[in-house]
Structure 1
Amino acid sequence: MIDFNQRSSEKEIMDDLACDGPVLDQTLKELKSINKLLGGNHVTTDGLDKITAKFPQASYTIADIGCGGGDMIRVMGDWAIKKNLNLHFIGVDANPNTIEFAKERLADLNNVEFLVKNVFEAGFLGTKVDIITCTLFTHHFTDSELQMLLKSLLDQAKLGIVINDLHRHSVAYYSITLLTRFFSKSDMVKNDGPLSVLRAFSRADWKELLKHSQIKSYAIKWFWAFRWQVIVWNS
């Protein structure tokens, strides 16, 4: 019997920073398709709409933490073109193999730089940026790790943070289990997809995390399909 009341602490295969090769490539390609299919990318760009509307500027620097294969940087770049905004991106990931994959996929863009960094190193970005985004990233950490991370991110974001992550829910769990079982060619996706839901959040979880991170200015909104948008304002 699965307990959906508590976050799972089981590690995903993707948490292994030595992960590389065809398995990683297939996984990142499938994750891109799943996010597009389920409409999860809109959660991040909607958050950017809100922050840029509140703080209008000619240009913004956005650090995408846990950037993976660079899919969200591509999505945000396309969004910026439609909005006529000038963006500079910093893609950050702890896995150097993933960063190399992202560099290849975004080789046509001249407004992106990449950092291989441990996000728990103090001031890991080396400078403050306007906005920090995290998509399907925060569920990889324990509550205590997240509290430290949120404080660190807020110290490095001038305007705010946009978090896009999963809602821990039985419907989400069984749906992704079936979807990956029948359509995925990646053992990593079949394992990590359902597990990521079990490691994800309820609204109450986010409220407690933000409270213990001493963050008071924030907004939490639910999106289909089973996503949370958390915006933290640095103002």
Structure 2
Amino acid sequence: MTKRPLYAAEDRAADDRAADQPPIAPRSDAGPVEHFRSGSQDNRTRFLSSRRPDLVEWMDRSDCDPVKLHNTYRYFPVINRLISRWDAVYRHYIRPQLRKGQRFTLLDVGSGGGDITRNIHAWAGRDGFLLDVTGIDPDGRALEYARGGAGADPEGRADCDDRTDREDQAAREGRTDREDQAAREGRTEHVDRTEHVDRTDAEPAILRFLQTDTGRLRREGKKFDFVVCNHVLHHLSDEDIAAFLDDLAGLSVRRVICSDIERSAIGYALFSVATWPLFPNSFIRADGLISIRKSYRPDELRAVLPQGWRVIRQFPFRLLVLYDKMVLYDKTDLNRNVSF
């Protein structure tokens, strides 16, 4: 199988070609019950019986309304706080593996508007851990918002725009200061990622956003303790998902965590009703309903996962995909089936 990085140029071109066709998607102005009333009884019976990876979300189109796109990024923190529940994912699957006095690294793939990236960085800092967090996205519009441009209002700003070329390269590679100094002197120095770091001398944990993809990072030999992604898997075909997960596993030293939607008729109906009066002038409702139709059910996802990956069901209508690369500090979460 030929590996392709997340949202590579050819994928974006394919989306642009698809944009020339009428989208197979619920109208953003359709009522909450209208989606279930259209079509024959047979069509309604088959609705959501199989995933629709061919559907294209409005915000993924290069020519989408920029105002609605900005508003969608602005509303994402609310959606992710209520539905994605990364606060619980952090508590159960990331925090138990962190140790005070050590520096860890985390990569957020497909970071979008950056709210999850920022939150994980903030939660770790609040708990007294040194966790350098990097968000990557190939979409320049998302990076501009995440970095605080174009009138965006995410909390705080990443300072990656002010880095020198050398500093940015070190940031891309997840290198420590000692490794970076050795590279400038023409030496190669390996730093054990689990070594003790004197907290009084340690630099503050880094938060940065980069416009790149998993394939490029892996070709460049980058490594991170944790690799996470939110709402990426449902964008991929069954054929592409194994290659994507292979990239994530190759980038991770400790654990990979992918969070996504579980396709469900009840979840579809509830999301349609709950978001009907909310999130005006955005793609939240229309794209959310498309995402549900594109997403997996647990057995479908297990059937396409490579060996060693596990699926955990979560509330509400969530699927968590985990892969562990090494013996972890705390094994109590290995068989955890948490209802958040």
**TM-score normalized by the length of structure 1:** 0.87
- 2:87 is aligned to 42
* Letter of the 1:179 counterpart: A
- 1:155 is aligned to 250
1:65–1:57 CA distance, 2 compared to 1 (3 A): farther
Query: 1:41 offset after TM fit, Å?
Result: 2.1
| Residue correspondence of structure 1 range 79-118 to structure 2 within 5 A | 79-104=123-148, 105=154, 106-107=156-157, 111-118=206-213
Q: Does 1:200 align with 2:244?
A: no
- 1:220 is aligned to 311
Query: 1:115 offset after TM fit, Å?
Result: 1.7
1:149–1:39 CA distance, 2 compared to 1 (3 A): closer
Deviations 1:110-156 (A, max 9, x none): 71222212434472665111110001222111111111100111111
* Letter of the 1:29 counterpart: R
- 1:25 is aligned to 70
Q: Secondary structure at the match of 1:154?
A: helix
1:142–1:68 CA distance, 2 compared to 1 (3 A): same
User: Pick from 109, 112, 129: which aligns with 1:68?
Assistant: 112
CA distance in 1, matches of 2:47, 2:132: 42
Of residues 162-171 and 1-10 in structure 1, the stretch that sits farther from structure 2 once superposed is 1-10
1:158–1:102 CA distance, 2 compared to 1 (3 A): same
Query: 1:185 offset after TM fit, Å?
Result: 0.7
* Letter of the 1:114 counterpart: F
Of residues 7-16 and 129-138 in structure 1, the stretch that sits farther from structure 2 once superposed is 7-16
1:181–1:234 CA distance, 2 compared to 1 (3 A): same
Deviations 1:171-201 (A, max 9, x none): 1111111122221213422210111111112
Q: Secondary structure at the match of 1:201?
A: coil
Deviations 1:185-226 (A, max 9, x none): 13422210111111112111221121xx3x32x332222111
Q: Aligned pairs, how many?
A: 229
* Letter of the 2:131 counterpart: L
Sequence identity (%):
21
Query: 1:29 offset after TM fit, Å?
Result: 1.5
Q: Secondary structure at the match of 1:183?
A: coil
**Structure 1 spans left out of the alignment, 5+ residues:** none
* Letter of the 1:27 counterpart: T
Q: Secondary structure at the match of 2:320?
A: strand
Deviations 1:29-75 (A, max 9, x none): 2222122133622353132135x16x888121101001011111122
Which structure has the larger Rg?
2
1:120–1:6 CA distance, 2 compared to 1 (3 A): farther
- 2:266 is aligned to 171
CA distance in 2, matches of 1:187, 1:28: 9
CA distance in 2, matches of 1:144, 1:116: 25
Q: Secondary structure at the match of 1:84?
A: coil
More strand by share: 1
CA distance in 2, matches of 1:136, 1:56: 30
- 1:232 is aligned to 323
Query: 1:20 offset after TM fit, Å?
Result: 6.8
User: Pick from 122, 125, 141: which aligns with 1:78?
Assistant: 122
- 1:136 is aligned to 231
- 2:10 is aligned to none
1:177–1:162 CA distance, 2 compared to 1 (3 A): same
CA distance in 1, matches of 2:104, 2:300: 30
Q: Does 1:14 align with 2:59?
A: yes
- CA RMSD, aligned part only? 2.4
1:171–1:152 CA distance, 2 compared to 1 (3 A): same
CA distance in 2, matches of 1:209, 1:170: 22
Structure 1 stretches (4+) deviating beyond 4 angstroms? 17-20
CA distance in 2, matches of 1:125, 1:57: 28
Q: Secondary structure at the match of 2:52?
A: coil
CA distance in 1, matches of 2:318, 2:88: 8
